[in-house]
Amino acid sequence: MYHNILVPISFDAERDISGPLKLAELLSTPDARVTLLHVVEHIPSYAISYMPPEYLSEARKALKVELDDLAAKLPNATGEVVEGHSGRTILDWAETHKPDLIIMASHRPGMQDLLLGSTTNHVVRHAACAVHVVR
């Protein structure tokens, strides 16, 4: 049983987040802290100039509401939205907050994952704590 669980959440269409959420509930102690973390990738400066000024703040608010709705289904869970490169940012967050387990969803790897690597692969290879990958 785990006391501090990190569940990175990707809202990509091919990711099923129900498995990691169920697993977090199964593996957590009654007083465990569960954090649902969504990483917003940086938007290049050339692209941001074409977006309305309030776009980023509104997008962050909408993501936070979505995470909070998911967190409401788990005991002692909270949602958090951060900005950065997904793999590095998840590891940085984990280094700061010291979870004892990271639960990540993964899709079936394709050729692009073999050449470029994936966020899950990066976290599995570099995390200082246990990482459980759910397909």
pLDDT digits (tens, 9 = 90+) for 19-59: 999 999 999 999 999 999 999 998 888 888 888 889 889 99
Q: What angle do CA 134, 126, 98 make, to 5 degrees?
A: 80
The count of other CB atoms within 10 Å of the CB of residue 74 is 18
pLDDT digits (tens, 9 = 90+) for 66-90: 999 999 999 999 999 999 999 999 9
Could you tell me which CATH number the domain at 2-134 has? 3.40.50.620
d(CA 87, CA 120): 7
DSSP state of 108: P
